Each structure stands twice: as C-alpha cells, then as structure tokens.
Amino acid sequence: MITNRRFAVTYSLLIALAALAGDAMTYPEPEQRTSYIVQGVTHAAVADLVRDHGGDITHELKVIKAVAADLTPAQLAAIRNDDAVKRIYGNGSIEVAGKPDKSGGSNGSGGNYDALDTHFPSLVNADDVHAMGITGDGVGIAVLDTGLWKHEGIKYDSNGNSRMKALYDAITDTTGNPLSGSDPAGHGTHVASLAVSSLRTPNGLYNGIAPDAHLISVRAFDETGQGTYADVIRAIDWIVSNKAKHKIKVLNLSFSATPQSHYWDDPINQAVMVAWQHEIFVVAAAGNQGPDAMTIGVPGNVPYVLTVGAMTDNYTPADGSDDVLATFSSAGPTREGFVKPEVIAPGGHMMGLTPGNSHLATAYPEFFTAEMYFEMSGTSQATAVVSGIAALALQAEAWRSVDELKCKIMSAARPAVTGKGKNLDLVYSVFQQGAGLVDALAAVTNQTVDCANNGLHIDNDIDGTQHFGGRANQQADGSYYLMEMNGYLWSDGYVWADGFLWTDGYLWSDGYLWSDGYLWTDSGVGMNGYLWTDGFLWTDGYLWSDGYLWSDGYLWSDSLTEMATMSHWVNQE
C-alpha cells in the first residue's frame, strides 16, 4: 500500500523537434528565414556551402560536423541536395511545460522533512563514502541546464574553497565569471545541489552526494526553461572542447524527449556520443513517461551512456521496507532493443536548493521553503544523484575509462527482489529498474570493470559505418524479454509493491552482460542470427508503429512537431 500520497512539482523540459521530409517538405513563405541544423561530411565544407548561398550561420556545431543557420526557402532548396550535406534538421524548440494542474497539491513542507536534511545521500550509502574521505574532490561535473545560483552550498566546497570553475552560456555563446552566474529558472541549481551541495544536516552529514566536486555551469535554457536543439548541441560542443581546461569528467543531462529516429540519427544524441568518445561520463535522465514500456527518451536512449530511472522512499527515509519504483519513471527497452534504464536512484520529493526569485519558486510557492529548498520529483533529480556518485568513484580511481565506470556503477547496484536466500525473484523487470538502486559505497569499492558496452564500437557508430541493437525482444503476447536470458520478462504482472528488499546478493545468471550490443544490419538480424520480432520491420524501409517512415535509416516527416515531456506534474507516492 502506498502511504502519504500527494502531489509534488516537477520541472518540465519539452522538446519539439521540427524535421524535414525529403521531397515532401513544406517551404516557408518567400524570403522568410527559418532556423535549420545543416550537417555535412565535414564542418568546414558545410559551413562554406551555407555561407556561399547567403545563409546566416548562428551556431558552429563542430561536435557533429554541422552549423545552425537561418535560411530562406531558396537557400534551403539550393543546399539540400549538395554532396557536402549529410542531413538537415529543423532547429527544434526546447521549452518549459505549461502550468500543471495543482489540484491535490501539498503545502510544500515536504511532509516531516527537516529542510536541512535531504536524506537521500544516506539512502545510497554516500555517507559511508564521505567517511572514507572521498567527497568528489577535484572532479569536474558539467551541469547542462538553466544556470547555477550563487548559494554558499553551490559556490563553495566543504572547506570553503570556490569550486565554480567555468561558466558558459550557449544561448549567447559567451563565457563569464563563474562566481557571477545566476539561475532565473531554478532547475539547474536544484539539480546541482543534489549532486554536490556542501551544506550539512543537523547531524553533520552532507546534503549532496559529492560535496567537494567542481562545477562547470553550462546554460542552454532561459529563464522560463526554453531553448533550442542548436543551443544544447553548442553547449555539448563547448564542453567537449574545454574538457581538459576545466577537468570535466562528468556531464549531467537532466532532460529528455520522445525519440523521433534511431538513436544514431538524433543530432543531440550524436553530440552526446562524441562526449562519451572523449571520455566524458554522461549521465542522462530516463524520462518521466512511465510506467509503460518503451518510453525511454533522448538522450537516455543512447546505448553508451548511463541512463537513470527513479525510485522513492515513500516519505519514510528511515524505513527502507516501503521503498518503491516511481510510477512516472520511464521504462525500456529502447526502440533498438537496449535495456534502459541501467540503474535507478532516489527521485521522489527531492529537497534541493533553488533561488527564491526563480521561476520555479514564484510559480509554485507551495513547494518552496524559507530555507531556500524546493521540492521536486523526477528522473532529472535521480540523474543528479548518480552524477554525484560518478564523481566519488572518479576521485577514488581517476584513471577509469567511461565504460569501466559505467560497469562499476551498474555492477554495484542492488535490484529490488522478494524472497529469501537463493529463492529470490525480481520485483520489477530489468526494463524498469535496470541493475537496480545505485550504491555509492559499492560503486567506489568494487572492481568489476568489464560488463558495459561490450560489442559496441562508438567510433564506427559516430562515423556511420556501423550501428547497433540490444538483446531485448518481444513475444507474441506483447511482453518483452532478453534473448539468451530466461526469467527476465516484462509483462503487466509486475506490480507496484509496497515493500521489498534492495539486495546485493542477486546473481545475474551465467554472468550475462545485458549491456552488450549486436551489429545493426539492414536485414534486422543480429550477429548471432536473432530475428527482431517486436512488431517492427528492421529494414531499409523501417516502419514505425506510429506511421513514420524512415528510409535508409533517415527520413524526417513533414513539419513534425512532436512534443515530449521529460518531467511533469506527477502523482507522488
């Protein structure tokens, strides 16, 4: 039974991707300029082409060999069939959702919470890591969001040293004094405080997961939470280019959108893969479109990155027996058959710092406290928790590759099970909980490093010579399962239990590495001859169940404006 059911605010970032559909595209009125992302074989070639035709380049997106440009219909028609052009995307908008229904809302006090005790670090055993002297010291976390507020818990580490190392505004393409940054929206600060707050509870414990980690503020969303695809990609481009200068090791992406293509065709995903290729550990939100299957969003559907779902302590932080998976947490598999999310983390009614004059605090004052804490739920908050854990693990073992770190965090996770001894059963499918609830202590101390991204080849994926599919498949009755792994089945039989054990004793049978990948082929058959039978046609003329046709792996439908929410006002259990 779920107790203390109430509503808690979540921050909604929506992505509307307007895309082009070959010969079927509808052109704007003559001389009207529209923003497009033009991707080429090389960045230089496509930039020269756009300039030669009089286009106004607004963003240099070298990370994906592209530019964003304002083009007239005539200019667009002139460049679209040039050999230098690989793809053309509409520069989709990213924005905050409209005001949610506040019916059933709370007074924002956070139940019985002491506003200075966030509880979740203890839930994932981060307190035990802090006791070892590991606090994320020196590890740079880039928070790509709405900006960061200059609160003491954000600006300074636990020793009072400034940890704000850089500030970049992708909207204006400018850098600034990191100590002079702001967050008119409030979301970026909330997320960052969960990852790194150096404030202490009345018992002397830290509010954040990695209180001594460094912060790099990268703004791609404005004061109302709005932005564009081009701004997000430009932000990632800057992060990759400045990785060494600012010692960026972790990238937190707390936004998501419904996939409109294969993972390798989405331009944000392409930039994210380049970041991973450059050994930046990317942590992405699964999305808040659960509990249905196949609801993982972009960029969480990128197979390489660590994708995070959410659980809740059910408003009883001291009692783990009633912890549950959050019903809003998006579930896998992805369209390409990968298990997502890989892990889950606390993401319900999370208390984090937010400026009192921010959009969030003024729009939803019932969730704001006098101590500058704001209560929000979502996989964006869970993502921040895992970014903090990644920083802890990287302080302990800075030499670990991104694939090794992903394996360490996954292998340390504790799946939700029922039963005793060797008679254990999963409470939730691997497509809902992945490897389980993250454990900071086990992630730092365990030495399992060869269990993630095996069979994948990111260089080939980025250059387009190979793409990959996962092991998930679908049975005739609609349930999902993992090939070569008995007993791991998604069906409607998974219940939202009111109590279970987060165990570290569960054995994944035969050492099965369910993050492995198969080579994606035109025939849709994996390297071992497996046929995709989930109701989709894995062919050059791939037909989505919603009617979108993807010819040769890529064809944008005309004027597509699919709105996809990462977070929304959810019924909080």
Annotation marks residue 114 as catalytic: no
Nearest Cα residue to 301 out of 337, 346, 252, 254: 337
pTM greater than 0.75: yes
242, 272, 276, 401 from 300: Cα distances, Å = 23, 10, 13, 19
> pLDDT band at residue 503, thresholds of 50, 70 and 90?
low
Which domains, ranges and CATH numbers included, belong to the chain? 19-91 (3.30.70.80), 110-457 (3.40.50.200)
pLDDT of residue 20: 35
Count the residues in the chain.
573
**Cα–Cα distance for residue pair 97/13, rounded to 1 Å:** 6
Q: Three-state SS across 369-405?
A: CCCCEEEECCHHHHHHHHHHHHHHHHHHCCCCCHHHH
pLDDT of residue 291: 87
Nearest Cα residue to 387 out of 161, 185, 186, 193: 193
Q: What percent of the chain is helix, strand and coil (3-state, nearest 5)?
A: 25, 25, 50
Annotation marks residue 380 as catalytic: yes
Tell me the residue type at 326: A
Of 59, 119, 151, 187, catalytic: 187
pLDDT of residue 103: 34
The answer, yes or no, to whether residue 98 has pLDDT greater than 50, is no
Annotation marks residue 197 as catalytic: no
Of 117, 127, 137, 145, catalytic: 145
Summarised one tens digit per residue, pLDDT across range 217-254 is 999 988 887 778 899 999 999 999 999 999 999 999 99
Summarised one tens digit per residue, pLDDT across range 414-443 is 888 777 766 777 788 888 999 899 999 999
Of 12, 93, 193, 380, catalytic: 380
> pLDDT band at residue 510, thresholds of 50, 70 and 90?
very low
Lowest mean pLDDT segment, chosen from 176-185, 233-242, 323-332, 507-516? 507-516
